[in-house]
Homo-oligomer: A and B are copies of this chain.
Amino acid sequence: MPHRFERDGDAIYRQSFAIIRSEAALDRFTPLEQLAVVRMIHAAGLVGLEQHVAFTPGAAETVRLALRDGAPILCDARMVSVGITRKRLPADNPVICTLQEPQVPELAREMDTTRSAAAVELWRPHLAGAVVAIGNAPTALFHLLNLLQEPACPRPAAIIGCPVGFVGAAESKAALMDTQGLPALVVHGRLGGSAITAAAINALASEKEI
């Protein structure tokens, strides 16, 4: 007997979001923040993720407006950039990932750092007003925060900082939230990842939930 399963993609989204809203503790978030958090939980398959999510005040709105104004989206990993649903973007926003640029391995050797951190150096021409989406590498987020200590470095509109893992992830996200004047969204601790990061962008990019 063939397996029977729900075959309507929109219905799957609706049912999933309804389950998440019934189970997750979303009251401390604004309605716009909730849209992001619901999709992040959906991407992770993990109710409880919301306990680790933090926004600076107004950051969700800042991301939405920046995207509407055409902000480029700077991604630390291709898994993030391919996870962003292009048809949800409001202004055909450029989605940029520099990690595979041919000069990155050599640059990383010169800088004595990771390829992910070296790739962030190549963001400089795109940084002004950008939405940053870091879903993999703590070293990318740390390097960006160091860049932004240079007074001449252009400022992004907002940073979605969800690097994942056991070495530096929690510390890099704490450092982001301790930085004054940077609208930010993080998943504190070890959790994070490219799917969660792309989900935050996908949620805030469009007026439509599904």
Tell me the A residues contacting B by CB distance below 8 Å. Answer: 2-3, 5-9, 12, 15-16, 19-20, 42-46, 78-79, 82-83, 112-115, 117, 138-139, 142, 145-146, 149, 164-169, 171-172, 175, 189-195, 198
Contact = CB atoms under 8 A, between A and B. Distances in A.
B164 A45 contact: yes
Given A2-B149, A12-B165, 19 more contacts: A3-B145, A3-B175, A5-B168, A5-B171, A5-B172, A9-B115, A12-B114, A12-B139, A12-B167, A16-B166, A16-B167, A45-B165, A45-B166, A45-B169, A45-B192, A79-B83, A82-B82, A193-B193, A195-B195
16 contacts: A2-B146, A6-B167, A7-B117, A9-B139, A12-B165, A12-B167, A42-B166, A43-B193, A45-B191, A45-B192, A45-B193, A78-B82, A79-B79, A79-B82, A83-B194, A194-B194
A46 to B, nearest CB: 6
A83 B195 CA distance: 11
A191 B46 CA distance: 7
Nearest to A78: B82
A79 B195 contact: yes
Copies of this chain, tallied across the complex = 2
A193 B192 CA distance: 12
A7 B149 contact: no
Nearest to A116: B9
Instruction: Kindly list the 5 A-B residue pairs having the minimum CB-CB distance in the complex, ordered from nearest.
Output: A45-B190, A45-B164, A16-B166, A7-B113, A5-B142
A46 B175 CA distance: 21
A83 B6 CA distance: 27
Contacts of A83: 79, 194
Contacts of A165: 12, 16, 42, 45
